[in-house]
Chain A
Amino acid sequence: MKSALEIAAAVRGGQSALVAVEESLTAIRARNEELNVFLYVDEDGARAAAARIDEQVRRGEDPGLLAGVPIALKDNLCTTGIPTTCSSKILEGWKPPYNATVVDRLVAQGAISMGKTNLDEFAMGSSTENSAFGPTRNPLDPARVPGGSSGGSAAAVASNMTPVSLGSDTGGSIRQPAALCGLVGVKPTYGLVSRYGLIAFASSLDQIGPFAQSVSDAALLLEVIAGHDPLDSTSLPEPTPSLLAHVADGVAGKRIGLVRELVDGADEDVVRAVNKAVETLKDAGATIVELSIPELHLGLSAYYLIAPAEASSNLARFDGVRFGNRVDGEDVTAMMEATRTAGFGAEVKRRIMLGTYALSAGYFDAYYGQALKVRTRMIEAFATAYQQVDMIIGATTPSVAFEFGSKTNDPMAMYLNDVFTIPTNLAGEAAISVPFGTGEANLPIGVQLLGPGRSEARLFAAARVLEIADGRA
């Protein structure tokens, strides 16, 4: 499949938008049953949108930066009149009455939604095995997981069903599946992208971001969805940053920190890839500084108190009253209990209970309160590091894609997948995973580039250097 940039250029030049849409539909028909990528395919809507874009071009209007580009949307993004489930039985059949801001922005720039992709229920998981509608398979090896929670959006791009897609990243849910599927995945600075219409998991951590086959497509997509939105009170009141224009800036003169804690514990093949990426950046003119940030080791523990605490509060809204499914009960409490018991899966219940416990009387200070202080420490530690370096490099995940069922019985083993990605969410900063080399079973490895808030342009430039060296130019 062509890149988003190529498709948009062709459509703006007069090629029918139906060409890419039909190509996308053919790819979806070929493998969706096997891989379980899309929960809903909007075939008619996509064709109608393509016809509208063709009409715009005929009238001499510009359909926008993503003219005719097919895109896949994680199914925790609200889409008017189109089922939005969060991969949960509690929302099965629900059709939102409004679009997420990111969806409106994509449409305004000519992108065409092909439908909604599978995820771990309510974005809680690292393998897509927690979906109420069955797991998504990794297109590169269907015996393995695609990662999660945005596994469907990663698999859509990795299987060439769409050139780009959107996911959400609360503790690594874009970067980890991007690494496991061989894609570029971006967790933008907190507040850069509006979350209006993103069904909330952990509000102080969630960000929406792009998946793409190339750094340039990821930069283009982020540029389209970024920018202030009065409907999201956490949205940064700043102009949209210029990203695509900086992709070729290179790393000459940049100082890059190789952080021990973001490599320690990773498999040998992953460590080798990170070291090779470091050499590549050095050859391109960067100065490498070896650093240790011991506070990063505390990230996982802090995250698994903060995220469930926020989730237990956010998911209180699923009570069978205003939306979603209801199981009847004799009084309102019995109805809510029956609804939530039948509607939520095992991992969602586990996290709701963990969060409720961490916030409950007698335990609040020891768990949640302590985790918030650790968060302060982590932000300070990153700030100190960024006085010495412009960005940080490390691994995205400890290993390549793993096999189904290998971590499902041990929540802690599954959580450890996110050990390198979580610190960025806690600090509200930016990070990119870029494919670099292969490891076990010839599967892709993701290298992670981290920067302070609003450093996306610089991270894209470094990612582009690695992409070229990896032969993905």
Chain B
Amino acid sequence: MTEPLSRDDVAHVAKLARLRLTEDELVRYTEQLGKILVHAQDLSSLDLHGVAPTAHPFGLVNVVRPDEVRASLDPAPVLAQAPDVEDGRFAVPRIVGEAP
């Protein structure tokens, strides 16, 4: 069977998942993920036309509660656990770059 995914695929997936891999890790994960996906190819050979997918065991439906005001978490202990806080808000590094 052909390799189900290449080193470049793994590098691309790592980028999508916001992970940086070393050269060694790239090689290792390509081999390991390949092995797992070969196993998963058992499924692609099945004829499942017309079978409805199940995303959830009991068929989730929207669950709503009465639209009433109620207490939520106190912001102080929540913010106290954050890596960086400014003026009662979560602070992050620059998101948008300099204007070109």
Which A residues are CB-close (under 8 A) to B52? 373, 376
B5-21 interface (Cβ within 8 A of A): 5, 9-10, 13-14, 16-21
Cβ–Cβ contact B93 & A330, under 8 A: yes
Mask of A347-375 contacts with B, CB within 8 angstroms, 1/0: 00110111011101000001101111111
Interface size range of chain B in the complex = 35 or more
A119-174 interface (Cβ within 8 A of B): none
Mask of A305-326 contacts with B, CB within 8 angstroms, 1/0: 1000000100000011111111
Is A402 close to B, CB under 8 A?
Answer: no
Which A residues are CB-close (under 8 A) to B33? 350, 353-354, 357
Cα(A165)–Cα(B19), bound, Å: 34
Cβ distance B16 to chain A, nearest Cβ, rounded Å: 5
Cβ–Cβ contact B84 & A234, under 8 A: no
Cβ–Cβ contact B58 & A190, under 8 A: yes
At the interface, is chain B mostly helix, strand, loop or mixed?
loop
Cβ distance B86 to chain A, nearest Cβ, rounded Å: 12
Cβ distance B57 to chain A, nearest Cβ, rounded Å: 2
Cα(A428)–Cα(B57), bound, Å: 5
Decide yes or no: A356 and B93 within 8 Å by CB, A230-B65, A305-B40, A326-B84 being known contacts: no
Cβ–Cβ contact A234 & B60, under 8 A: yes
Mask of B32-73 contacts with A, CB within 8 angstroms, 1/0: 110111011011101010011111111010010100000001
Cβ–Cβ contact B39 & A301, under 8 A: yes
At the interface, is chain A mostly helix, strand, loop or mixed?
helix
In the complex formed, the residue of A with least CB distance to B84 is: A326
Cβ–Cβ contact A337 & B36, under 8 A: no
A204-237 interface (Cβ within 8 A of B): 204, 230, 233-234, 236
Question: Which residues of chain A have a CB within 8 Å of any CB of chain B?
Answer: 94-98, 190-191, 204, 230, 233-234, 236, 298, 300-302, 304-305, 312, 319-326, 328-338, 340-341, 344, 349-350, 352-354, 356-358, 360, 366-367, 369-377, 379, 411-412, 415, 426-429, 453
Question: Which residues of chain B have a CB within 8 Å of any CB of chain A?
Answer: 5, 9-10, 13-14, 16-21, 25, 29, 32-33, 35-37, 39-40, 42-44, 46, 48, 51-58, 60, 63, 65, 73-74, 77-78, 81-84, 90, 92-95, 97
Given A204-B55, A332-B92, 6 further pairs, Cβ under 8 A? A97-B73, A301-B43, A322-B82, A334-B93, A353-B29, A356-B13
